[in-house]
Each structure stands twice: as C-alpha cells, then as structure tokens.
Amino acid sequence: MTRKKIKNSFKERVYTVVALIPKGKVLTYGEVARRAKSPRAYRAVGNILKRNFNPAIPCHRVICSDGSIGEYNRGRERKIALLKREGFVV
C-alpha cells in the first residue's frame, strides 16, 4: 500500500503563515495569501482570520495592502493597541 502525502488545507496554511509573523512585524492579507500558495485568495485570508479566536494565531498582525489596519474579530481598537504594544508604529 502506498502512502499519499496529505496536503494541508488552505486554512491550515494561512494559520501557519500568520503564526510565524514575529512581534512588531505585520503582513498584508495579500502577502499571507501568497505565502500560503494561493496569491489571489487575500479575501479568503480575511474570512479565515475573522473566525480565529486561537491566541496562538496572532491575526492582529495582518493588515490591509494600503497600510490601513483593517478589521479585527476582537475590535479594531484592540488590534491597534496590540500592535502598538508590540512596537509596530500605527
């Protein structure tokens, strides 16, 4: 019997990319999509992160491509406060 390599789902790849963003740094939704091997799926990245409540996945470190902060499932003000606390200039 042969073993097939099971591919990670897009959601798992997004979580992996976001989990690797260091404190004080950010990526855009588009950059996360590209690193997750689906460069045109930046909206899907936003939808995945909107439903994330796992604190090990720092979704507050993902911003819009125009440099704006974007939304956050725990509130935009909280996202700004978290980024400032980590040293990111908002």
* Residues identified as active-site: 59
CA 51 to chain centre: 11
In order of 2, 27, 62, 85, 88, the CA distances from 66 in angstroms are 47, 11, 12, 22, 16
